Amino acid sequence: MKKVMAILLALALVLGLVACGTSSGETTNDDSTPQTTDNSQSQSADTTVITADSAEKADIESALNLANIKPEWTYSENADAWTMAIVTAVTNAELPDYQGVSVCVPGAYVRGVDTDGDGTADVTSGTASGTLVIDFDATVTSTNGQVYTAATAPVIINTGAAGYSAQSNQTAGTTYAKEGYINIACGNRGKQSTLSDGTYTGDAPSCLVDQKNAVRFVKFNILLGNLPGSVDYFVSTGGSGGGAHATMLAATSNNPDYYDYEISQGAVGVYKNSDDTYSTTVTVNGSEVELSDGLWGCMAYSAITSLAEADMTLAFEYYLNPDYSFNTDFQKQLAEYLAAEYMEYINAQDLTVEEAKVGFDLNGDGDTSDTVALTIEYDETGHKDTNGYYGTYLDLYLAEFEQSLQDYIDRLAYAENWTWFNSDGTALSDSEVAAMTDADRAEAFINGWYVKGSTGSSSGGMEGGPGGNGGPGGDNAGGPPSGEKPDGAGPGGDNAGGPPDMNGGSSDEVGTPDSGTTQSASSKTDSTSYSSFAEMLAAYQADIAEIQAGDEYGNNIVDLYNPLKYIGSDGTDGPTWARILMGASEGDISMMNSLNLQIAWLNSGTDAEIEWQWNGGHVPSEIFGDSLALYVDTMYGEYVDGAVKITKAVASGQTTNGDGTKPSGTDLSGWVSYDSTSGVDMTLAGAAAYRTSGATKAMPGFDVMDYGQEDYVFGSSTADARHWDTYVLKVFEEHADTLAELFN
């Protein structure tokens, strides 16, 4: 059905059109400049193409013009914000209840609602249908001191898609109004979506495409003057599967691989020409203006991507700890094979990184001025504490872990209501707490002489997710002792545009879209669906062959959900900046995935930061005075001419001690050393033990032996789920005899 609809739309778009030059679909970050580049090698003079005045193009633009839709707007006096009721963002929606958009705008930018089309504000409060009358002279100063107008304000798009699921349409929240931002909530199709006839839909890349179409819809209406905000400063944010989509939305900006999918749903500003090129302009005041689905920035929390390498990274991280206890011999052997596969995978990429960009002296020469090749090496006898693995790639991995703890310690002055103790367990007096230096707090934290109060958490506007996975613990040799649960129970706030409750936890049950990522780490059964390894191998081979054969547009849908394939590639416009915040103790994905994204983005010119929040669980909160708004405002000050340079507010520090009675902090002194000059120092083995102490996934982690939730993302119109990991299949085929003997 999806294929038939796409073909009919494509045929309709080319009928009755006149000859004209085209836009190739290769866009820039400037939405105000018409794009006329043609990447095709040649074009005959009589080629029939879509033009700016074609009926089909005009119909789409008319249908998606908010001045014609006249949506309902509601004013919140408490938040001083106007919120638009949900409208469908495309003209050919497959599932309209999942392809809508709602927008919330600061009240300062709005004079009122024009209800009769005369251009003046008729309603200034309450609820009314019509068009916003925008005040382009008004300014909003954010809580961090950045100054915005209706023409310069950032636009935040919340990517739902928890667990890669469908997200029903929802009303945008008012969270960002006080910051001067425009807030977008959008629905999306997802892995469990079906049509009325039972046809499976919502498979990759539908979820991402719906988010791209929402971006196009809002940008189009900004260009028309129907909405405030800047088309140049769109920022994606989300958590878990939503964090994955926030990342992918930024990583695939404007890439033509997605245009056919956008066109099939009737998106604005992307049309296919009869010569198979694309036109990506819209008509604004009689002129053709480029419209992109690109982003300026990305703030992703616990981004579960890229799936394409996630089984290998998880296996490698588990296998780095020789004391980790796998559930079955099959899983242990599979992890060993996948770890070796990951080493080969990394080394084949010829990765490099500039020390200055990551801030680490990776080659130990005393400076950070070099470009270092990143490799994984193996010496079974020389590195027994990490099962033989070492190398510059793992030096960078370790440096990020050390920085994670160092950053936490450096921000302890922002902690609130903690109870601090001296070495004999006596609580400090209020005056002693008030006099604590950074070095004092660091010493107390490393030794566990505290009871946590508040970490000064801030959601930055993202709606709450689940509590984090259990904190570090277990009996892994060389690892951290049992201690506190993770910081970061999931961002809070009133933003209905944020991700809903994440299904990131593990479960012994698999085989449905909602049953979790994989079998839990406690499962002693390799598979409940396959009676033999040969049967499972045959299922992998058949499923992956189908996927590699391509979908209705000839694309491998697993590739379409691999951001690493698109970062820095031809046809992709990279974001100016990206930040990924992971919980360092979360068990839902390896830290190496976010590391690889940072490396790719840095090498392509994006300002990319990763933070592995110490003791943070899945979808961690911002803590110690940090927030999404602080980061957005800081990046705005860094990259926008004339903007305010933002500096984080200085911590006031505690002046009174908490009411804890005895220390409950984790004593890290046995495996972490700290010096006030050189900072935190730990070993790779210690970092690996820390990671696996919170392990919650079986092997492989994402394309599981029995179908897990990500397998449903890569289904087809007739198959609800399919296996997709070519690296797992390669290991299965190369080591079939050994694995078959160990299976179940």
pLDDT per residue as tens digits for the range 17-33: 333 333 333 333 344 33
pLDDT per residue as tens digits for the range 173-222: 999 999 999 999 999 999 989 999 988 888 999 999 999 999 999 999 99
Helix (H, G, I), strand (E, B) or coil at 182: strand
Q: How far apart are CA 191 and CA 513, in angstroms?
A: 7
Residues forming beta bridges with residue 697, ordered by sequence position: 520
Among 241, 134, 145, 118, CA closest to 182: 134
pLDDT above 80: residue 316: yes
Contact between 59 and 17 under an 8 Å Cβ cutoff? The reply is: no
Among 551, 459, 540, CA closest to 732: 540
What pLDDT is recorded for position 53?
52
Q: The tokens of 156 are what?
A: 């935040």
Among 12, 551, 49, CA closest to 266: 12
Q: Kindly list the domain boundaries of the chain, sorted by start residue.
A: 2-301, 307-486+509-736
pLDDT above 80: residue 39: no
pLDDT per residue as tens digits for the range 638-693: 999 999 999 999 999 999 999 999 999 989 998 999 998 889 999 999 999 999 88
Q: How far apart are CA 646 and CA 634, in angstroms?
A: 5
Q: How far apart are CA 450 and CA 447, in angstroms?
A: 9
Q: How far apart are CA 567 and CA 661, in angstroms?
A: 51
How far is CA 434 from each of CA 126, 449, 495, 552, 580, rounded to the nearest angstrom?
A: 49, 16, 36, 66, 34
How far is CA 2 from each of CA 257, 501, 623, rounded to the nearest angstrom?
A: 17, 29, 44
User: In degrees rounded to 5, what are phi and psi of residue 458?
Assistant: -140, 130
Mean pLDDT, the chain, integer = 86
pLDDT per residue as tens digits for the range 442-464: 999 999 999 998 776 544 333 32
What pLDDT is recorded for position 148?
99
Rounded mean pLDDT, 342-368: 97
DSSP 57: H
Rounded mean pLDDT, 9-21: 36
Contact between 665 and 449 under an 8 Å Cβ cutoff? The reply is: yes
Helix (H, G, I), strand (E, B) or coil at 338: helix
Q: How far apart are CA 249 and CA 6, in angstroms?
A: 22
Q: Up-side HSE of residue 474: CA atoms within 13 Å toward CB?
A: 21
Q: How far apart are CA 173 and CA 683, in angstroms?
A: 44
Give the position of tokens 């793992």.
394
pLDDT above 50: residue 236: yes
What pLDDT is recorded for position 697?
72
Q: How far apart are CA 155 and CA 169, in angstroms?
A: 18
pLDDT above 70 as % of the chain: 83
What pLDDT is recorded for position 486?
35
Among 68, 145, 75, CA closest to 110: 75
